[in-house]
Amino acid sequence: MELRTSRTLLHYVEHGAGRPVLVLHGAGVDHREAEGCIEPAFAGADRFRRIYPDLPGMGRTAADGLDSAEDVVAVLCEFADRVAGGEPCLIVAHSAGAHFALGMAARRPAAVVGLALICPLLPNVRDVPQHRIIVGSGELGDETFRDYFVVQTPEMLERYERLVVPGMQLADEEAMERIGERWELALEVPFEGPALILVGRLDATVGYAAALDLAHRWSRATVVVSDGAGHALPHEKPELLRVLLQDWLKRCE
């Protein structure tokens, strides 16, 4: 499916009907990674319409004329308004997608009623651990797989090749670099709705220390640091993700 905003044409897929849930993937992939990880967590939650866009510069969404994270947030706010018919959304987001989700919530607080952030990219990233493999020999897959997953099994490699690699092959590296040079967003406003923050203790991309800061600032946040997971937590801890997202959905209702 496609929806044209004032700045670009967004490609997206959706499932189900009911309250709109916008699901934002991370950098360098497309909607297929988020869809493959998040859809199983919605099993039995049939009152939600899950909407998975390709972020600008990734998948089948172009980023021509977009030069900053602020531009991306503006596009996503317009997309959310139009695809949801003006109804407030819940947002589930991974990594860089969480950065954009926070920007949307800061600019349009009444339009975002719940946030679930998984391994979020935050402005004050610090204390990032070195990458460490906890399962596997470190010989499976390509270098990107070995640097992304801490659980390196044939099952994880199959998920990587099916859900991650196809989006990587479509990424507009030039556009991502251009936007990345102006990635900062003003995110000072605390979020007051039901929130979930799920991070991996072994996340060598964004760490987990910055995410813990939100536990003190957001009065309605469930914050979980998962042992045995890294930045690929949605792949490595699917059952934990399902349980926590189901709890978050109940709180949002």
Q: What is the per-residue pLDDT across 142-155, written as a single tens digit (0 to 9) for each?
A: 999 999 999 999 99
Q: What is the pLDDT of residue 190?
A: 82
Element spanning 139, H or E: none
pLDDT band, very low/low/confident/very high, at 105 (cuts 50, 70, 90)? very high
Structure pTM? 0.97
Q: What is the pLDDT of residue 128?
A: 97
Own/partner long-range contacts of 126-129 (Cβ < 8 Å, ≥24 apart):
126/207, 126/209, 126/210, 127/207, 127/209, 128/203, 128/204, 128/205, 128/206, 128/207, 129/201, 129/202, 129/203, 129/204, 129/207
Strand partners, 23: 92
The rounded distance, in Å, linking the Cα atoms of 106 and 115 is 12
Average pLDDT estimate for 224-239:
98
Q: What is the pLDDT of residue 251?
A: 97
Which residues 6+ apart lie within 8 Å of 247 measured at CB?
Answer: 196, 222
pLDDT band, very low/low/confident/very high, at 227 (cuts 50, 70, 90)? very high
Q: Which of 81, 76, 53 is nearest to 66 (CA)?
A: 76
The rounded distance, in Å, linking the Cα atoms of 211 and 230 is 14
Query: pLDDT per residue over 130-187, tens digit each?
Result: 999 999 999 999 999 999 999 999 999 999 999 999 999 999 999 999 999 999 998 7
Give the length of the chain. Answer: 253
C-beta of residue 234 within 8 angstroms of C-beta of residue 118: yes
pLDDT over 80 (residue 189) = no
- C-alpha 154: how far from its chain's center? 24
C-beta of residue 219 within 8 angstroms of C-beta of residue 192: yes
Architecture of domain 2-252: 3-Layer(aba) Sandwich (3.40)
pLDDT over 80 (residue 188) = no
Average pLDDT estimate for 36-48:
93
Q: Which of 87, 84, 78 is nearest to 50 (CA)?
A: 84
Mean pLDDT score of the chain, rounded to an integer? Answer: 96
